Amino acid sequence: MTYNQLVKQIGLKRSFLCAGLDGDRAQMPPHLRKDPNALFAFNRELIDATAEYVVAYKPNTAFYEVEGSSGWRQLSQTVAYIKENYPEILIIADAKRGDIGHTAQRYARAFFEELNVDAVTLSPYMGADSLTPFLGYKEKWAIVLALTSNDSASDFEMQSLANGQPLFEVVIQKSALLGTKEQLMFVAGATRPQALARFRQLIPDHFLLVPGVGAQGGNLEEVALYGMNPSCGLLVNVSRGMSAFRAKEIAQKMDLLLPNTLVC
């Protein structure tokens, strides 16, 4: 998917909602709990119920790996189901991978060729050569962790370097040299909305994937205030408690926050 195609979808649906696909067997309805394909069955129901309100789906690989090879198969089925029925919706594998170049190349193949998602989240800790293998794929995106939504983002991400900048800013600056807004997005937690203004100074045009609205306490209006650009430039993720009702409710709020026309 291209940058312009994504912006157009946001304009058409008047939504920048990314729905998490993180099924938890223990919390599923009884008829699914004992189904060996519960993860896929749960996802299919949720996808059909929410597709009109979302522009992206984000399965987190942890929720599939916990069921081993069966989980990985259900992740693959989920991706294929979205591609077949809702090809206009971006699919993000929230995998947070990061390895040396030789191995990162394998991950790029695993996610962009074998699983066939549109985007994958990456951890920048090991530096540029863990990111570049993902940038050689046309219409695929690498989404780099910058400032995450969890409390212990303060442990390392927010630590000041010798030049006074926090680590996450240097991650943004060095990573942004590696690829364009067509290739790269960044993760920016909703729990520190004012930091989004700093993201916009450093990378005015790139899309930001913003987790942390909802269960983690982030505020949608503040995220839009500090992080939105003339193309929207935001994918706000909600995972826990997702449903047709919830997706519609969030999309209605997003409609009011979006400008009437989006710059493509």
Site residues for a second copy per CB under 8 A? 22, 60, 62-63, 65-73, 76, 94, 96-101, 103-104, 106-107, 109-111, 114-115, 123-130, 145, 148-157, 159-162, 164, 167, 170-171, 174
Q: Are 152 and 178 in contact (CB under 8 A)?
A: no
Shortest Å, Cβ 13 to a second copy: 27
Shortest Å, Cβ 237 to a second copy: 12
Q: Are 78 and 116 in contact (CB under 8 A)?
A: no
Which CB atom, from 71 or from 233, has the smaller least distance to a second copy?
71
Shortest Å, Cβ 53 to a second copy: 24
- In whole angstroms, give the CA distance from residue 46 to residue 56: 13
96's tokens:
């947070």
- Segment (H or E) for 71: helix 68-85
Which CB atom, from 93 or from 228, has the smaller least distance to a second copy?
93
List 20's β-bridge partners, or say none.
Answer: 58
- In whole angstroms, give the CA distance from residue 256 to residue 184: 27
Provide the phi-psi class of 232: left if phi over 0, else alpha when psi is between -120 and 50, else beta: left
Catalytic residue (choose from 96, 174, 181, 253)? 96
Q: Are 34 and 42 in contact (CB under 8 A)?
A: no
Q: Is 138 labeled as catalytic in the residue annotation? A: no
Tell me, what DSSP letter sits at residue 144?
E
Q: How far is CA 7 from the centre of its chain?
A: 15
Q: Which residues contact residue 73 at a Cβ distance below 8 angstroms, ignoring those fewer than 6 apart?
A: none
Shortest Å, Cβ 264 to a second copy: 33
Q: Are 210 and 234 in contact (CB under 8 A)?
A: yes
Catalytic positions, written as ranges: 96
